[in-house]
Amino acid sequence: MKTIFPLFALMLSLITFKAQQVYQLNTFFDDVPDYSYMKDLNNELSLYVGNYKAIYEGNEITLFITKEDKRFNELLDKKYYMDILIVKYTVRNVATGTVLDDNLNPINPKRDRIISMGTNPPDNNSIDLYYTGTKCGIGWGRITLLKINDTQIKWAYYPDSRLFSGNDCPDSKNIKIYLPVTKNLIFTEQ
């Protein structure tokens, strides 16, 4: 009898256990049960991983792109996992070498963050990213990356159109957006 009860409990737990459901990367999070996993099944995100540089208006922009598998997200009371790209960056003045902006060690981890939202199949699987902006959300918006060959990506940045003044963000002395606000900027892998 002592061995029957543990075996019965084990069988019951195996029957009631639900495996985590895995979906394609671009599955809308609201269309899946809680704790589902939107996985990069086709390895589309891995193509973008690396360090890339470009020069724009006298500034050198370096992107450090990494992939994080199975990142936990909670959005609008929905809990799910998703493979994402994380983009860190530095913007350096070429003439002086001065770092104008970076998000390598953010003070507030919920700010100054660039993370992928998914791919765009109609646009050659370009990657859509969300940028939270710097202090006070300055510059928040959408960034699109498109892999154009083995060593280059094309950048497009669409910041929010809201205008800021010094009064809108009193704790920040600088309300300038340093990321390149442009389309079709080519970054080369280093």
Can you spell out the DSSP letters for 82-116? EEEEEEEEEEEETTT--EEEE-SS-SSTTSS-EEE
Q: Which two tokens stand for residue 124?
A: 């050659």
What digits encode the pLDDT tens for the residues 7-57? 555 454 444 455 779 999 988 888 899 999 999 999 999 999 999 999 999
Summarised one tens digit per residue, pLDDT across range 130-177 is 999 887 788 899 999 999 999 999 999 999 866 665 566 666 666 788
Single pTM value for the model? 0.84
Q: Return d(Cα 86, Cα 63) in angstroms, integer.
A: 10
